[in-house]
Amino acid sequence: MDAISQRYLMCRPTYFAVDYAINPWMDPTAPVDAALAIRQWETLRQVYLDLGHTVEEIDPLPGLPDMVFAANGGTVIDGRALAVQFRDPQRADEAPAYRAWFEAAGFEMHDPKHVNEGEGDILLAGGLLLAGTGFRTAHASHAQLQEIFGYPVVTLQLVDPRFYHLDTALTVLDERTVAYLPEAFSPGSQAALRRLFPDAVLATAADAEVLGLNAVSDGRHVVLPAQATNLAAALRDRGYETIGVDLSELLKAGGGPKCCTLRLRQGKAGK
């Protein structure tokens, strides 16, 4: 399997904290080691650089502790960027900051008509746009995705509040296949996933409970939470190289490697 060199956007967790609870992982009374969070994030960034990827950074803003989760900043495909609209008011001010970054970086901007939380719920997999709904991204936004990006959209219904974003329940491994936790999806969505990806890697509950599916693949290397040892073994059996990273502090906000990483997909001309 060939690794594809990728371009990512990340946001240093300078102001990271767990001050509010908008998903079941977040407990504002539990201690968070902010300095450790930064070191863990720096390690993740260095893993990408060592793999030959490019990492761009957006400046973190005070008062936005979840801004580190850059995957929620937008959806960027073929040089077009769809800005986000968060469900929760606590994260609302992140949206214009990310929008301004995309615009300055030269992407063709599109504004959301409905709630959508970017690559947290919208994943490009082999020419299909897999779009989650049920907790954050509104089903109504899925039609807009297809109009903007021109890829067929597959709606996937999330049913377990612990796996509130699609990227906590499913990982795109390469052009052909994905890994996912079946029980995180409704019966109809499970059936659709079986038809689309008969060779998928099926994760276990234990893998998903450490956010093991919140992984980043370049087609060959899969960067995933170090605690997801079953999933890592299953991926190695399928020929992927796995790289475990410990993001224990960010996990307290319900985030893992993928949440911290927004893929920037350029247009054909490279701009």
Which of the residues are catalytic? 165, 259
Q: Is 120 in the site for ligand ARG (CB under 6 A)?
A: yes
Which residues are within 8 A (CB) of 239 and not within 5 positions of it... i.e. 6 or more apart?
1
Find the binder of ligand ARG among 10, 148, 253, 264 (CB under 6 A).
253
Choose the stretch contacting ligand ARG; rule: CB under 6 A; options: 3-11, 29-37, 164-172, 231-239: 164-172
According to DSSP, residue 232 is labeled H
Name the nearest CA neighbour of 100 among 67, 133, 135.
67
Find the binder of ligand ARG among 16, 41, 69, 163 (CB under 6 A).
69
Find the binder of ligand ARG among 6, 40, 72, 116 (CB under 6 A).
72
Q: How far apart are CA 261 and CA 263, in angstroms?
A: 6
Enter the tokens of residue 100: 């301004």
| C-beta of 1 vs 36, nearer to ligand ARG | 36
Choose the stretch contacting ligand ARG; rule: CB under 6 A; options: 36-44, 193-201, 229-237, 248-256: 248-256
Choose the stretch contacting ligand ARG; rule: CB under 6 A; options: 69-77, 92-100, 101-109, 141-149: 69-77
Side-chain half-sphere exposure of 40, counting CA atoms within 13 A? 25
Q: Could you tell me the smallest distance in angstroms from the CB atom of residue 22 to ligand ARG?
A: 5
Tokens 């054909």 correspond to what residue?
Answer: 268
Q: Is 259 in the site for ligand ARG (CB under 6 A)?
A: yes
| C-beta of 153 vs 215, nearer to ligand ARG | 215
Bridge pairing between strands 262-263 and 7-10: antiparallel
How much is the CA Rg of the chain, to the nearest whole Å? 17
Tokens 């893929």 correspond to what residue?
Answer: 263
Give a three-class secondary structure readout of 176-231: CCEEECHHHECHHHHHHHHHHCCCCEECCHHHHCCCCCCCEECCCEEEEECCCHHH
Q: Is 22 in the site for ligand ARG (CB under 6 A)?
A: yes
Find the binder of ligand ARG among 23, 40, 85, 217 (CB under 6 A).
23
Q: Is 168 in the site for ligand ARG (CB under 6 A)?
A: yes
| C-beta of 74 vs 255, nearer to ligand ARG | 255
Q: Is 124 in the site for ligand ARG (CB under 6 A)?
A: no
Q: How far apart are CA 66 and CA 77, in angstroms?
A: 23
Q: Is 71 in the site for ligand ARG (CB under 6 A)?
A: yes
CA angle 249, 156, 58 (to 5 degrees): 40
Task: Tell me which residues in 38-67 interact with ligand ARG (CB under 6 A).
Answer: 66
Find the binder of ligand ARG among 73, 112, 132, 254 (CB under 6 A).
254
Q: How far apart are CA 125 and CA 119, in angstroms?
A: 12
The torsion angle over the Cα atoms of residues 19, 25, 30 and 34, rounded to 10 degrees, is -60
Which residues form the interface with ligand ARG (CB under 6 A)?
22-23, 26, 66, 69, 71-72, 91, 120, 165, 167-168, 253-255, 259
